[in-house]
Amino acid sequence: MTPTKAPEAPARRARQTATPVVNDDPTDDVDATSTVEFGPWLAQGAELRVSKWRAGRGFYAPAHRGAPTSTRQAEVLNTAAIAAPTDEEGVVIGEDRLSRTLVAGDPFTAYQKGLISSPNVVVVGDVGAGKSSLTKTVCVLRVLPLRRRRVVVFDKKDQGGRGEYTSLVERNGSTPIFFSLDGSEKRSIINLLDPAIVLGAGLGRTLDLLRAVAETVAGRGLDDWEMEALRRALRMTMTWGESAGRAPTLVDLAAQLPRVHTTRDELSPAARERLHQSAATVMFVLSGLLEEFSGLFDGETSKAIDLSDRLTSFDISQLPATGPAAPMVVAAANMWLMGVLRRRRGWFTNVLAEEGWDLIGGANGALWRSLIKLARGLGVSMITNIHKLADIPKSSPAYAIIQEAQTVHVFRQSRAEDQAASIEAFNLESSAGGSLGSLTTGDHLYKVGSNAEVRVRHVRTPWEIAVTNTDEAMTENGRGQA
């Protein structure tokens, strides 16, 4: 009897793939050339839906692929990373370590879908754990090509006399906004009374900015009399600016302080004297600021400070690593930015603060938190990159800012106190502490809203590796690899 020939399996449909990615972790035990197991992530990119009509309108999206097990079944494998993989909407982040599927996310998309109530992001972990690589890639490079998206970076890390984002900004055809105290001709000035701040943010928030700056310099809070003196001086200075036909500066404000007690009101002679003394104290503080930080706040805002480019960098890397200079510039630039955005709506903006604790700590914390509330209505996602979470006082505004963020990337933390602080601040699974101390570079726990955290491996293309690695990657050799 002649055996019947089995029918041939129908040819599988050719598939469209995304940009190839590489796993640049030398400690990873996954062999990209192995034919024993062919997981979704080992293919040359994630499989995409194929539709010419939808593709022509920008609706590329990864096809849904099944996970090797269900979330409920996987609970026994890793109770600290059991969330279902994210959907295809958003910016690609990397690979879900459990299901080996693509992970994507975007705070603006999640906000619009009602998954979160705040678009702000916190990235936390040890130095060298992969925080900067993720923010440069996911929050900057992969965002810039999107429609009506822009990125603003406060670049604090010194790399050969300039900020670490300088080459990235120059690649994008922009020039960093440079701040320095050394008298460089390239340095910029930001006016604390710039019209973008006063008109865009209002007199109330302008007063908050002046208070934060004065308290940062003084090293203490202003009392009620000193605040009243500052408030009166601000009103008098703005009136003087209107009559003079130009934007007033901090120098003009300092000149008005000795006159605040001369205004006509019902103050008693004793109260006038108390106000006069308080105004003199504030004047000495501001005069000291103008002298010590000459070239930062003592003039009109430089023309270089502009928001016309998709990628804007405030290079504060050459300001003193400690002290009030960098936090004050960031506070002023942030206020200026919010003022500009109120007049230029319709864009989504990522505002990234590298080494965020240095910038949002102290007197700037309360101001930064108020700006975050304002930012939500302006299409702004505030992204704060920090380490040593346990060192941040729980009573501080900075800690409140961290807790209010609803998109979190938690990288390796070697200190037990930082692991415990992350579990508490971000409501992670209690068993996550053990894994946080052993995460390899690039691996992290990714949490959105009230969803359980997912363990993710951040993955970059060869070009992204060339332009986001620190040190050599920002040199001519790095460009040659791009």
Tell me the pLDDT tens digit for each residue of 289-315.
999 998 899 899 998 898 888 999 999
Residue 348 lies in a domain: yes
Each residue's pLDDT tens digit, 233-248: 999 999 999 999 999 9
Among 232, 262, 237, smallest CA distance to 251 is for 237
Each residue's pLDDT tens digit, 23-48: 444 444 433 333 344 444 455 555 55
Q: 396 and 345, same structural domain?
A: yes
Q: 276 and 331, same structural domain?
A: no
User: Which amino acid, 444?
Assistant: H
Buried b (16+ CB within 10 A) or exposed e, 53-86: eeeeeeeebbeebebeeeeeebeeeeebbbbbbb
Q: Provide the whole-model pTM.
A: 0.77
In degrees, rounded to 5, the angle at the alpha carbon of residue 306 between the alpha carbons of residues 304 and 307 is: 150
- Gap between the Cα atoms of 353 and 60, Å rounded: 31
Q: What is the pLDDT, as a whole number, of residue 183? A: 74
CB atoms within 10 A of CB 250: 22
Residue 163 lies in a domain: yes
- Gap between the Cα atoms of 421 and 125, Å rounded: 11
CATH of the domain at 86: 3.40.50.300
Q: 475 and 340, same structural domain?
A: yes
Q: 433 and 376, same structural domain?
A: yes
Range of the domain at 427: 69-185+306-481
Q: Please state the rounded mean pLDDT for residues 88-113.
A: 88
Q: Is 177 helix (H, G, I), strand (E, B) or coil?
A: strand
- Gap between the Cα atoms of 174 and 115, Å rounded: 34
Q: 463 and 342, same structural domain?
A: yes
- Gap between the Cα atoms of 86 and 96, Å rounded: 9
Q: Which of 292, 324, 345 is the last residue of a domain?
A: 292
- Gap between the Cα atoms of 121 and 402, Å rounded: 8
- Gap between the Cα atoms of 106 and 469, Å rounded: 22
Q: What is the pLDDT, as a whole number, of residue 444? A: 95
Residue 51 lies in a domain: no
**Which letter does DSSP use for residue 410 in this model?**
E
**To which H or E segment does residue 423 belong?**
helix 416-426
Residue 328 lies in a domain: yes
Tally of domains in the chain: 2
CB atoms within 10 A of CB 458: 25
CB 343 within 8 A of CB 81: no
Q: What is the pLDDT, as a whole number, of residue 476? A: 43
CB 404 within 8 A of CB 372: yes
Q: What is the pLDDT, as a whole number, of residue 399? A: 84
Task: Tell me the H-state helices in 298-415.
Answer: 325-343, 356-360, 364-376, 397-404
Q: 200 and 175, same structural domain?
A: no
User: Which amino acid, 303?
Assistant: K
Two tokens, residue 212: 């934060």
- Gap between the Cα atoms of 459 and 91, Å rounded: 12
Q: 229 and 319, same structural domain?
A: no
Q: What is the pLDDT, as a whole number, of residue 89? A: 74
- Gap between the Cα atoms of 431 and 410, Å rounded: 14
Q: Which of 270, 292, 314 is the last residue of a domain?
A: 292
Residue 15 lies in a domain: no
Q: Please state the rounded mean pLDDT for residues 422-440.
A: 88
Contacts of 151 (CB under 8 A, 6+ apart): 139, 140, 143, 144, 310, 311, 312, 349, 350, 351, 352
- Gap between the Cα atoms of 356 and 389, Å rounded: 11
Q: 332 and 462, same structural domain?
A: yes
Residue 24 lies in a domain: no
Q: 135 and 257, same structural domain?
A: no
Q: 97 and 207, same structural domain?
A: no
Q: Which of 292, 320, 355 is the last residue of a domain?
A: 292
Among 290, 300, 281, smallest CA distance to 328 is for 290
| DSSP class per residue in 455-468 | EEEE-B-HHHHHHH
Q: 170 and 116, same structural domain?
A: yes
> Which segments within 241-361 are labelled E, that is strand?
311-315, 348-353
For the cut 90, the answer to whether the pLDDT of residue 186 exceeds it is no
Q: 316 and 277, same structural domain?
A: no
Two tokens, residue 324: 């009030």
